[in-house]
Amino acid sequence: MPDAEPPDLPQTPLLHVMYLEPRIPGNTGSAIRLAAVTGARLHLIEPLGFDLSEAKLRRAGLDYHDLAVMQVHESFDAALATLPGSRVFAFTTRGTTRYTDVAYRPDDILLFGPEPTGLPAEVLAHPRVTDQLTIPMLPGRRSLNLTNAASIATYEAWRQHDFAGQQPEDSPSRFP
């Protein structure tokens, strides 16, 4: 998986999507695809619940692996050390701020916890966590799929920046 900038991505990141200890390869493969199509940077924090060469991960990411910027970090603190000035928004069903009530900056970190437990209390209480955000749902529902939640939040942040770097309006969209 590449750590370098693919040639067609903007030099300034849209934002950083961070998965703490992801366990399901298909979700991470989908996150690779999300990063590739939006220009977000994907950060995975070990331990991972799968091998990065796993077939389900490759299948979910399809041919987008070479178009995404992804880094693997040995710990949450190590990941944060690479982004010292970034705000950290922790997504949790227990959050009190709606994800739409934030004015996102290009260097923000959108932090998501492992499936199915979510972010642990010690991460939510970390001094670098700026706020705990929630995505509204109907009562009695547990949570959204990890990458569905990351996609909702990533597209809201991208929308707030007028979809910077999107393909020109006169070229057709690419749907697989």
Q: Residue 91: what residue type?
A: F
Q: Answer yes or no: is 173 a known binding residue.
A: no
Q: Is 75 annotated as a binding residue?
A: no
pLDDT at position 1 is: 43
Phi, psi of 100 (to 5 degrees): -85, -10
Q: Is 113 annotated as belonging to a binding site?
A: yes
What is the model's pLDDT at position 82?
A: 96
> How much is the pTM?
0.86
Structural domains of the chain, with CATH:
16-160 (3.40.1280.10)
Q: Who has greater pLDDT, 166 or 146?
A: 146
User: Residue 7's pLDDT band (boundaries 50, 70, 90)?
Assistant: very low
pLDDT band at 62 (very low <50, low <70, confident <90, very high): low
Q: Tell me the mean pLDDT in the region 4-19.
A: 66
What pLDDT, on the 0 to 100 scale, is given for residue 8?
A: 53
The pLDDT mean for the chain works out to 86
Average pLDDT score over residue span 146-173: 84
